Structure 1
Amino acid sequence: MQTRKWWKESVVYQIYPRSFYDSNGDGIGDIPGIIQKLDYLKELGIDVIWLSPVYESPNDDNGYDISDYRNIMDEFGTMQDWEQLLEEMHKRGIKLVMDLVVNHTSDEHAWFVESRKSKDNPYRDYYIWRPGKEGKEPNNWESAFSGSAWQYDETTGEYYLHIFSKKQPDLNWENRNVREEVYDMMKFWLDKGVDGFRMDVINFISKVEDLPDAPNPHGVMFVSGSKYFMNGPRIHEFLQEMNKEVLSKYDILTVGEMPGVRPQQAIDYTGEDRNELNMVFQFEHVDIDSGPEGKWDLRPFDLIRLKEILSKWQEELFEKGWNSLYWNNHDQPRIVSRLGDDKEYRVKSAKMLGTLLHMMQGTPYIYQGEELGMTNVRFKSLEDYRDIETLNMYKEKAEAGKNHEEIMRSIYVKGRDNARTPMQWDASEHAGFTAGSPWIKVNPNYMEINAENALKDKDSVFHYYKKLIQLRKQHEIIVYGKYDLLWKEHPHVYAYTRTLDNKQLLVLTNVSGYPQTLQLPDEIQPKSEPEILISNDQHQPFSRELTLNPWEARVYQYSI
């Protein structure tokens, strides 16, 4: 039997603070801005906010390069502002999950400043330093943000490892002092009252001891060298130690971002007898339109493959671990542009995609603007883009002779700035995000797509998401029911049941712009009149033969 936990029954909303709401007109979202918008989030009905990093940072990777874990970045406000945010959230019954970024720090962190001074500095071993080999890097690993994963440092004539930007040196988790510093910092925030952590690339913290060359030196992100630093030899030991020293002492939500993790590994990370984490973010479903050369290598979307991936996670983790459910985050393009129709059927396909995900087992995560059906952006000039990953990739591909249009096409589809354009609050200048000049341009469609319009329109994506959240609170079958896939090979329909005791949900979604006619399989045998729980179309009476309109979603509940 599954243990009931508050974090299984919650819906989480991710805020990327730089792009959420600017209270002081400097063009950058901030903590006082979030406080001003808490009633909007209360209205939506979410239980938890996951706040992307607000710590002191030089902003090489938009806050994921932390220079001081115990201070707030000036652009976002002060510690007093942060404390007020927590108090105002808790007053409204909303919990706060902070980002924990401990695979790496900024190169401006005090530990690294000391570490690079000399080979015998007490902080030297806080990071991963190696001498070069025959005048070259210590091994052939590549950075996730292009180029080598090693940076030469003239002061001591050695290289340091950075799986991400060269301004993000990797911490050495083999060093007990590093681990104790991290645990102490986690307690600092938990004792202030935070309700959990989202842990950035946490399955990267254990590296294979001798850091060997990768067999595929020109691999893609998380391929070159990744088997030597992803799910490494001591990862479970480190997470169990973290749990024992810190996590087990608090009633909190923990979710680990884990590229390359598969269901059996996720059970090892999230099983209740494992004493590690509550859930993981896996990447299989969001890598579905990536080719062999990685995310920029575009491939057509394949619904049958998506069903295979999501069903595998639903079935294999059932009663053994716990799923996180997400379409979007600060690193992913907008789902309605990716899998839906962001033109004619934008509202309808956004609702369908929300239904498809929220009716599964797991904790749903909504990324800011998803509840409005915000879309990808197509900036005309490369100069309008801000993301380090995108800009590095463009430079690398252009130098290799790829043409501008081809590179821009992959940026339009996959670039991280798609998720980072400012939140669209109203139809005033800059979408009401700022009175100044925004740090990144607003999507030009804000006149139509904005929160003010959505709140007024009872048929908006916002009100539909609000209902999805309410249903999860009213029907425990949505949280705890068993998942079974229907029509496995259908190229356009994603349908499944959820079963708990003598109740069943039938979830029907048409992931296409064409009508789809279906004959219900024999195993669907309602003993009571099926009741429609939610639908994004005209109410259709239940029948064994039914036609789903373009992008239609329906959920029935009945006794069995």
Structure 2
Amino acid sequence: MPLEQSADWWKSSVVYQIYPSSFHDSDGDGVGDLPGVIARLDYLKLLGVDVVWLSPVYPSPWDDNGYDISDYRDIHPRFGTLEDWDRLRDGLHERGMRLVMDLVVNHTSDEHPWFTASRAGDPDKRDFYFWRPGRDGGPPNNWGSVFSGPAWTQDEATGEYYLHLFTRRQPDLNWENPRVREAVHDVARWWLDRGADGFRMDVINFVSKTRQMPDGPVSGEHGHGSFAEYAVNGPRLHEFLHEMHREVFAGRDVLTVGEMPGADVAQARVHTDPANRELDMVFQFEHVELDHGPGGKFDPRPLDLRDLKRSLNRWQEGLGGTGWNSLYWNNHDQPRAVSRFGDERYRVESATALATTLHMMKGTPYVYQGEELGMTNAHLADIGDYRDVETLNYHRAAVEGGRVDADAAMAGIARMSRDNARTPMQWDASPNAGFTTGTPWIGVNPNHVEINAEAAVADQGSVFHYYRRLIALRKEHPVIVHGRFEPLAEEDPAVYAYTRTLDDRVLTVLVNWGADTAPLDLDPKVAGRDPERLIGNYPEEDGLFAPLRPWEARVHLGRS
């Protein structure tokens, strides 16, 4: 099938994220791989997605699950070879799908040749990274890393410190050095020339730092300062992104999405305004931080739907005329949405309600592996079952350091750990869920016996087939892609409602975000004339404006 050639094909597309370690293992070593992905391409074709985004598969010491890259132009042996990647590219293209790679260029691994040369004092590479003398017998400033501890590590050979906003094995690249940017551009061009169709760009808004790097405000009990004011959305970010677009992306038919923690609507509108030639869309984090409590993500609080609506509606309206939204609940860094925002007692209903809310909005939807099955959190109870560096570091600092009660900490970890997204894909009810014939690198969710792809594909009432219909509707109805977004019932604590309008077509979306029946107090005129049911997650309904049953979603299409 030929690939669509329109300039903005990604607007009508749905992207499927694969976390390769946990997708499908072809050789029984307990770790997913590229041949395993290739073996499941017909499943993705059946689902109907347009783009596959592949989390990092590069050589890596695996300090942060592959986000610490030691070679940008090869494949880690655990995943296969470059020839396997070529076969994956061809298999996707033959099925009319595209392949997007993860570009992690805020930092490298400390085993990358650039850093080993820099550490050794190579004058050609020393300034590829941030090296600073210490201060008062300690680091150059008080910044703390994302994964606990200081953001600086001292090198014994020279006595200087290098910056790492993540783990100490992920030194930050110095984008102020034009030769660093040229090297990054070369890497990106190399993959595009090989047939990649674009990039998801990891924490790309961290690449511009304030040169002075002063102390940041101290929060919490660990004594470290925040780097956000000085290393996020920095002074040269727009310049760097525009330069990369000009040098790498211009004239190519590709998708670019920048992961941008801390970005607001105004910043995202500038980044995604086509006239500025920076990015097609950004990943923002505002909505997935609303349930973080006073102690951070591992101290979760209940989500107030009104807060969620205020956030997402602001992004819909803010980027509605200029720019473009990315739409997601799940990814490799977030717990499973059904367990987090939905209700496992109403797993199918809440999974499809969440999907309806998101897929009918304006923007490009992202589906994370297993989301289309309604996969849940794993509810791991023992810290020994976890593999994620963020989780383990938090447990070490909070529990072993005596700051947080052990039971409370484990409850927060079970609910919010990134490992909830990284348990193996549930293909069937067999041992290890059909993921591997060996011992999986992380435990399989026991509920795979009931929740798995084989059962879902065979059941027309499954979450899987609901996702299929949502994805197909995006291709059939331009109003879903291009329609104007208008919120409804903004202060209703239980119902998420909005309309989308294009020409004379009106799409009305009504979703109950709770287990209690929710009455509707809306003027029927908002749905236009002769509204007809487009999709819903209950087999029958009493009418568009009848009370919504637990986690019920309804979408109708009428005429203005």
TM-score (normalised: structure 2): 0.97
Aligned to 2:417: 415
**Deviation for aligned residue 1:4:** 6.7
Q: Does 1:58 align with 2:67?
A: no
- 8 Å Cα contact 2:143-2:224 kept in structure 1: no
- Aligned residue for 1:69, secondary structure, equals coil
Shift in CA distance, 223/244, structure 1 to aligned 2, threshold 3 Å: farther
Cα distance in 2 between the residues matched to 1:222 and 1:228:
14
Aligned to 2:556: 556
**Deviation for aligned residue 1:205:** 0.1
**Deviation for aligned residue 1:480:** 0.4
Cα distance in 2 between the residues matched to 1:236 and 1:134:
35
- 8 Å Cα contact 1:174-1:206 kept in structure 2: yes
Q: Residues 475-522 of structure 1, C-alpha deviation per residue, up to 9 Å, x if partnerless?
A: 010000011111111000001000001110110000000101113226
Amino acid at match of 2:507: L
Match of 1:490 among 492, 508, 511: 492
Shift in CA distance, 153/218, structure 1 to aligned 2, threshold 3 Å: farther
Aligned to 1:357: 358
Amino acid at match of 2:368: Y
**Deviation for aligned residue 1:218:** 4.3
Q: Residues 409-440 of structure 1, C-alpha deviation per residue, up to 9 Å, x if partnerless?
A: 11111100000000000000100000000000
**Deviation for aligned residue 1:236:** 0.4
**Deviation for aligned residue 1:176:** 0.7
Counterparts of 1:93-492 in structure 2, within 5 Å, are 93-118=96-121, 121-216=123-218, 218=220, 224-342=226-344, 344-398=345-399, 399-492=401-494
Cα distance in 1 between the residues matched to 2:322 and 2:172:
32
List gaps (5 residues or longer) in structure 1: none
Aligned to 1:39: 42
Match of 1:11 among 14, 17, 38: 14
- 8 Å Cα contact 1:530-1:542 kept in structure 2: no
- Aligned residue for 2:558, secondary structure, equals strand
**Deviation for aligned residue 1:134:** 1.1
- Aligned residue for 1:518, secondary structure, equals coil
Q: Does 1:85 align with 2:88?
A: yes
Q: Residues 430-479 of structure 1, C-alpha deviation per residue, up to 9 Å, x if partnerless?
A: 00000000000000100000000000000000000000000000001000
- 8 Å Cα contact 1:218-1:224 kept in structure 2: no
- Aligned residue for 1:55, secondary structure, equals coil
Aligned to 2:3: none
Cα distance in 2 between the residues matched to 1:466 and 1:83:
27
Amino acid at match of 1:289: D
Cα distance in 1 between the residues matched to 2:62 and 2:148:
18
**Deviation for aligned residue 1:121:** 2.9
Amino acid at match of 2:96: G
Cα distance in 1 between the residues matched to 2:445 and 2:281:
33
TM-score (normalised: structure 1): 0.97
Cα distance in 1 between the residues matched to 2:123 and 2:38:
43
Q: Residues 89-144 of structure 1, C-alpha deviation per residue, up to 9 Å, x if partnerless?
A: 100011000000000000000000011112x6321100001000011110000000
- 8 Å Cα contact 2:217-2:225 kept in structure 1: no
Amino acid at match of 2:362: Q
Q: Does 1:539 align with 2:540?
A: yes
- Stretch deviating more after TM superposition (206-215 or 518-527): 518-527
Report how many aligned residue pairs link the two structures.
Answer: 554
List gaps (5 residues or longer) in structure 2: 1-5
Aligned to 1:69: 72
Cα distance in 1 between the residues matched to 2:179 and 2:294:
39
Cα distance in 1 between the residues matched to 2:503 and 2:82:
48
Amino acid at match of 2:95: R
- 8 Å Cα contact 2:142-2:225 kept in structure 1: no
- Stretch deviating more after TM superposition (94-103 or 518-527): 518-527
Q: CA RMSD in A?
A: 1.5
Q: Residues 212-235 of structure 1, C-alpha deviation per residue, up to 9 Å, x if partnerless?
A: 000235489998111100000000
- Aligned residue for 2:120, secondary structure, equals coil
Match of 1:23 among 4, 18, 26: 26
**Deviation for aligned residue 1:293:** 3.4
